[in-house]
Amino acid sequence: MIQLIRGFKDILPGEVELWQHIERTAQAVFAAFGYSEIRVPIMEKTELFARGIGEDTDIVEKEMYTFEDRGGEKITLRPEATASIVRAYIQHKMHADDPIRKFFTIGPMFRRERPQKGRYRQFYQIDAEVFGIESPYLDAQMIYMLHLLFERLGVSHTQAHVNSLGCPVCRPNYREALLALLDRVEEQLCPDCKRRKSRNPLRVLDCKVPTCRQAVTEAPAIVDFLCGQCQSHFDVLTRGLTQLGVPFALDKRLVRGLDYYTRTAFEIQTTMLGAQSAVAGGGRYDGLVQSLGGPPTPAIGFAIGFDRLVEILAQEQSVAAAKPAFFIAALGDAARQAAFQWCAQLAAAGAYVEMEHGDKSLKAQMKRADRLGAAYVLIVGDSEMAAGKAMLRDMATKEQSELALEGLVEKMVESLSGRKAD
C-alpha cells in the first residue's frame, strides 16, 4: 500500500470542518480591517526565497524543497508566503496607484524539517501583509487584529511577545555587543550557532538547543541599543497595545528566523502547545520591497501556524459535520425513481438531502438516516406512491405526519426556510 510522504498529512472530513470554521472567521476579521485576499503560486524561482528570506537562514540553508524542473530551472516549493506577495506587489506595480495595500492569503507551505507534533513538512499558514504604512500604530493594530481573531475563535491562554530588532542604523552597534558576548560563550554553542556567530549572530538568539539558550541568557537586549527613531516607534507600539487592551510581554530575546525583519518583531505564544509554543509570528520588514527590486516601501506582516491553531482548538471544541435536512427512505422501484428526482430538485434549491439508492429494508434505511443525523425522514413506498402521499417523520420528536406528494418539493423547501427563521 502506498502511504503519504513523511511529514505530510491528510485533513479528513471530521477535522476539516474546524479548518473551514477558522478560515471563515479569519476572513471576516480581516475584511473588517480592509485586507483583500491574494493567491500566489506554491512554487517560485529559488532565487526569490534565497534573496527574500536570506541565505543564512535555517529555511534557505536546510529546509527548502528545491529542485530543477525539466527545463533545468531551479524552483522551490514555497516555505512561506511573504516573499511571493512582495514579488506580486512589485511585479504588478501595485504600488503605482496606491502604495497602501493590505493582503491576506491562506495556503500550504513546505519546509523539510524533522516532523513532530506541531511541525510538518507541508503545513498551512494564514498570512497577512500590509504595504506602504510606516506608522507604529499599524503594528499595534495588526497585533490587535490577531488578538481579536484568537478571541473570536475562543483560543485562550495566548500572549503577544514583542521586541524591536532596530534598523540598519542601530543594529550594527547591537551586533557588536552581542558578538562580544558570543565570543565569551563560544564553547557552549552548538555547531550551527558557531557558524551563525560569524555570519548572522542575531540568529543565535533564536536557536532552540538548550545549551545555546542557556549561553545567551546574559546577552545584551536589542532594545537597549535602539536609535531615537526606533525607540519612539517601539514606544508608540507598546502604548498602542496597552490602549487597545492587548495582553503583551516585552521579549528582549525574540528575533525572527528570517533576515528581512526590522523594528517590530512579535509572536503569539500559547501554553497549550508544549514545545511548539509559537502559534503566529510576524514583524516589520521595511527593507524587503526595495531589496527585491521595488520602490522603498515600509511593510509588516504575520503568519499564523494554521495546523497549530487547529491543534489548540481541537482540544477545546469541535465543529459538527453537515447533517442532511431530509433523508428519503424509498421502498420499491417507483418510489426510488421519484426520490431520485426529488433529491436533485431539493439540492438545487439548496437543501442537503440524502436517500438510499439500494434495495434496503425500512429498518436499515431508518438506521442510516439516524447515523447521518437527518432532521426528517420522508418515507415513501409503492402504496404511498399510489395514494399520492408520503409519511414525514420528525427524527427529534418522533412525530409522523402525512404529506401530499403534489407540490412535495416546494413544501419541503418551505418547511426548511421556516425552521431557519426560528
Contact residues for ligand ATP (CB under 6 A)?
Answer: 80, 111, 113, 118-120, 123, 125, 257, 276, 278-281, 303, 305, 307-308
The distance of closest approach from Cβ of residue 257 to ligand ATP in the complex, given in angstroms and rounded to an integer, is 4
Q: Which is nearer to ligand ATP, 35 or 120 (CB)?
A: 120
Cα–Cα distance between 35 and 280 in angstroms, integer?
18
The distance of closest approach from Cβ of residue 121 to ligand ATP in the complex, given in angstroms and rounded to an integer, is 7
* Residue with the shortest CB distance to ligand ATP: 305
170: CB partners within 8 A, 6+ apart = 225, 226, 227, 230
The distance of closest approach from Cβ of residue 347 to ligand ATP in the complex, given in angstroms and rounded to an integer, is 37
Sheet holding 36-37, edge to edge: 36-37, 101-110, 122-131, 299-305, 278-284, 262-270, 158-164, 248-250
Rg, C-alpha atoms of the chain: 28
Q: Which is nearer to ligand ATP, 311 or 356 (CB)?
A: 311
Q: Which is nearer to ligand ATP, 246 or 355 (CB)?
A: 246
The distance of closest approach from Cβ of residue 267 to ligand ATP in the complex, given in angstroms and rounded to an integer, is 6
The distance of closest approach from Cβ of residue 125 to ligand ATP in the complex, given in angstroms and rounded to an integer, is 5
The distance of closest approach from Cβ of residue 306 to ligand ATP in the complex, given in angstroms and rounded to an integer, is 8
The distance of closest approach from Cβ of residue 271 to ligand ATP in the complex, given in angstroms and rounded to an integer, is 14
Q: Which is nearer to ligand ATP, 126 or 331 (CB)?
A: 126
H runs (alpha helix) in 254-361: 288-291, 306-316, 333-348
Contact 212, 201 (CB under 8 A): no
Q: Cell 402521499 sits at which residue? A: 389
Instruction: Let me know the angle formed at the C-alpha of 66 by 64 and 70, rounded to the nearest 5 degrees.
Output: 165
Q: Which is nearer to ligand ATP, 279 or 379 (CB)?
A: 279
| E-state strands within 211-291 | 248-250, 262-270, 278-284
Q: Which is nearer to ligand ATP, 205 or 338 (CB)?
A: 205
Cα 375 to chain centroid, rounded: 33
Q: Which is nearer to ligand ATP, 113 or 134 (CB)?
A: 113
Contact 164, 264 (CB under 8 A): yes
Q: Is 197 left (phi over 0), alpha (psi -120 to 50) or beta?
A: alpha
